[in-house]
Amino acid sequence: MTLPEAEQHLSLALEAAVSRFGSMVRQVGRRYRLDESGLDEVMQEVRIRLWRARGTGEQVDQTNTSYVYRTASSAALDIIRRRRARQADRHDAIEDEGTVTVLTAPQPDPHATLEGSELAQRVARAIDEIPASRRPPVRMHLAGYPREEIAKLMGWTEAKTRNLLYRGLADLRERLTAEGIGWDTAGESNW
């Protein structure tokens, strides 16, 4: 096998190993409404790591899913760390600048925006006041995660999850009422 052929073989083998696992993650990610740009970055990092670690096309051919999974998991953690570090640098840079130019865009209705913002603050405050044991499942529910996913993530029974959600949403209703916000349950989904 000539050098260009070997490189092409290595490239194809790498792509096959990565795309096998990548398509599985994408399939799962669609169910989880995953932002695929993050995943693309992870899979690119996996390619680089496999390239460095495995050496030849034959070795990459033998790369199993377990190895790719572990590499992807570790790459994802590193990418998250790097992103956070970049964000922190950006914040520092903005804070270091003496003057900040505020860009303004036309506002649709200042009164409606203010009212919406106040309502959002009151809702956020009411959620923050739910007891800590029940608040996370309520947040997950409001963020659109189905009850089965909450139960699976926390290792809870269906009964326990339903109970915590029921009580947590009752807490939320109570706190919203105290904030002067009524909760209309007509046509509400059966959670």
Partner 1 sequence: MGHGRGEQLVNEQRIREIYAGVMASRGKTRSAAACPAPEAILALVRREGTEDARLATLDHVMSCAECRSEFDLLRSIEEAGTQAGAARPAYRRWMMPVALAASVLFAVVIGRYLLPAAPEDEVFRGDDGGVTLLAPPPEVPAGTPIAFAWHPIPGATRYRLEVLNTGGELALEAETADTTVTLQGTADLAPGDYQWWVGSTVAGAPTRSAFRPLRLTPQ
Q: Is 154 in the site for partner 1 (CB under 8 A)?
A: yes
Task: Tell me the CA distances in angstroms from 104 to 55, 63, 107, 108, 140, one per residue in order.
Answer: 53, 53, 9, 12, 33
139 within 8 A of 130, measured Cβ to Cβ: no
Q: Is 183 in the site for partner 1 (CB under 8 A)?
A: yes
CB-nearer residue toward partner 1: 12 or 70: 70
CB-nearer residue toward partner 1: 12 or 88: 88
CB-nearer residue toward partner 1: 8 or 73: 73
Q: Is 105 in the site for partner 1 (CB under 8 A)?
A: no
Q: Is 38 in the site for partner 1 (CB under 8 A)?
A: yes
Q: Is 129 in the site for partner 1 (CB under 8 A)?
A: no
The residue from 6, 56, 70, 114 that contacts partner 1 (CB under 8 A) is: 70
Q: Name 62's Cβ contacts closer than 8 Å, sequence gap at least 6.
A: none
Helices 65-96, 3-31: axis angle to 10 degrees equals 80
Smallest distance from partner 1 to CB 130, Å: 10
Distance between CA 62 and CA 56 in Å, rounded?
A: 10
Q: Which listed range, 6-14, 50-58, 68-76, 99-107, lies at the site for partner 1 (CB under 8 A)?
A: 68-76
Q: Which residues of 134-154 are buried (b: 16+ CB within 10 A; e: fewer)?
A: bbebbebbeeebebeebbeee
Task: Tell me the CA distances in angstroms from 60 to 2, 20, 22, 48, 191, one per residue in order.
Answer: 18, 13, 16, 12, 47
Enumerate binding residues for partner 1 (CB under 8 A). Answer: 21, 24-29, 32-35, 38-39, 42, 64-66, 68-70, 72-73, 76-77, 80-81, 84, 87-88, 116, 119-120, 123-124, 127, 132-133, 135-136, 139-140, 142-144, 152-157, 159-160, 163-164, 172-173, 176-177, 179-189
